[in-house]
Amino acid sequence: MRLRNKTTILLVGLLMAGLSSCVSSGDNPGIEYAPNMYISQAYEPYSQEKLFEINPNGMTMREPVNGTVARGQLDYIYPHPNTGAGYEASASFTSNIPITESNVKEGERLYNYACWHCHGKKGANDGPIFKSGKMPGPSWPNVQADYIKNIPMGKMYHTITYGKGLMGSHAAILNPTERWKVIYHIKSMSLGEEFEISSDVVEVEEMQEGAEEEVMAEATQEEHPAEEH
């Protein structure tokens, strides 16, 4: 009799605990019936469900259409391959990043963390790595050499992007815009006063201001055409 009493108390206790655990409160969502109906299953993007092997490339995620460019990354498209012919063709590759004081200055900052340990702070190929003798430097002694004075900027871009000889690729360290800024800094060290800093940006701003004034003037005329007479 006493045993049956204990069993009843235990069962009632369990039932209460069970029921109360169904109630959601605070962080506890309670017991959910068929949770798949509320929370969609997250499939692994780079693999696929064993029962569902119909995906192209064996993964749930679809690859972007060929030629797709991520927004804002158009300048990552570089047309020349990492070959001798690609290097020669890169000579005509140019950028639309203006050669301004601030871009050259930013190039100096980037050079002083990504390049100086080989090429030296002033471009004399006397950075600690070349100085140590563990790695031979380039054939040109410093950036003031004719070779760097005359080298097309496109070829410099090619070399920074893919590397050349013992110099590795720096594409992972500098984005395309940064590569051009570093190039401007090297050319500025190389050519000194002869390196032309463009004032394009100022001109463009002035042109815009001028255009705005014209538009404003036209708008005023349209609003008060009578004033013309």
Contact 82, 162 (CB under 8 A): yes
Nearest-approach distance from CB 156 to ligand HEC, in angstroms = 4
Question: What one-character DSSP code corresponds to residue 195?
Answer: S
118 near ligand HEC, judged by CB under 6 A? yes
- Residue 62 is which amino acid? R
Give the count of residues interacting with ligand HEC (CB under 6 A): 20
Looking at 99, 108, 161, 170, which residue binds ligand HEC (CB under 6 A)?
170
The DSSP code for 91 is G
What is the token pair recorded at 100?
């301004």
Examine residue 189 and tell whether it contacts ligand HEC (CB under 6 A): no
- Identify any residues that bridge with 164 across adjacent strands, giving them in sequence order: 167
Q: Which is nearer to ligand HEC, 46 or 113 (CB)?
A: 113
Examine residue 115 and tell whether it contacts ligand HEC (CB under 6 A). Answer: yes
- Expressed in percent and rounded to 5, the helix, strand and coil fractions of the chain are 55, 0, 45
Please say which residue, 104 or 174, places its beta carbon nearer to ligand HEC. 174
* 103 versus 159: smaller Cβ distance to ligand HEC: 159
Contact status: 166 vs ligand HEC (CB under 6 A): yes
Distance CA(11)–CA(14), nearest Å, equals: 5
Half-sphere exposure of 28 (CA within 13 A, CB side): 8
Binding site for ligand HEC (CB under 6 A): 114-115, 117-119, 129, 137-138, 155-156, 159-160, 164-167, 170, 174, 182, 186
